[in-house]
Amino acid sequence: MKTFVVSGSASGIGAATTEVLRSQGDRVITVDLRDAEVTADLSTPAGRNHAVTQVQRLTDVVHGLVPCAGLAGATGVDSALVVSVNFFGAVALARGLQPQLASAGGASVVLLASNSITGMPGWRVSVADLCLADDEPAARADAVRAESVMVYPATKAALAWWARREGTTEPWIGHGIRLNAVAPGMIDSPMTDQLLADPEIGPLLEAYPTAIGRVGRPEEVAALIAFMLSDACSLMVGSVVYADGGTDAILHPESPQGWAVQRGE
């Protein structure tokens, strides 16, 4: 039996991932604002420290971490809060639990990116750059200059870049910890329900293209995450895997508009 930590475990992909891992006979320590083994607010440094401390009290070894907790970029949502939860909350869990991950003798972190990185033009790249500079106050200040719908992809791009940049370094793969990210498309979840009900964003999502003719299910992404956490996925380091029913392939059939293009590099 292995021990995993999943944040955002109360609903959506986090809940589905928890269910899949437990069905395999593994232990899952859940983290969320409610209905979790560890209740914590990942939007603040104090809340993140509390989450890490409580997990460390429950286990000395963590075989895998899935920071699923996140906020949608919907009308009226605080853009600064999206930055703090989506990027800094996730990275703080990974950094805080690095000793426990290293103790596993082979561990994995799967971050939650999004296909909006390449599928949604015009998002605020400067927010992603400030996230990667580890400057939360500056990232929050920059984020409030844009609508949260344009900040959400920036936080997800920053997570993908962080996995690629940090995944090959000594503190991570040097200690046997694989960093990767999964980039889901539109998934049947409370977050998607919130966006579909949004008077500005909802109509745009109704035209969302997929090759399979439907949105994804949380358990489909959870199955991929479980594989990425497993020893069978030992060759994947710094990878960003799309799971979006073909949406990105429809939008970019030959030359995907990667983040380097988006940044004007």
The catalytic residue positions are 152
Q: How far apart are CA 138 and CA 136, in angstroms?
A: 5
User: Do residues 50 and 92 touch, judged by C-beta distance below 8 A?
Assistant: no
Q: Are strands 240-243 and 27-32 parallel, antiparallel or unpaired?
A: unpaired
265, with CB counted inside 10 A (0-12, 13-18, 19+), is exposed
Structure-token pair, residue 162? 């962080």
Residue type, 261: V
Q: What is the DSSP letter of 216?
A: B
What is the SS3 assignment for 243? strand
- CB under 8 A, 24+ apart: contacts of 218-222: 218/12, 218/13, 218/15, 218/16, 218/187, 218/188, 218/189, 219/16, 219/19, 219/20, 221/13, 221/16, 221/17, 221/182, 221/184, 221/187, 222/13, 222/16, 222/17, 222/19, 222/20
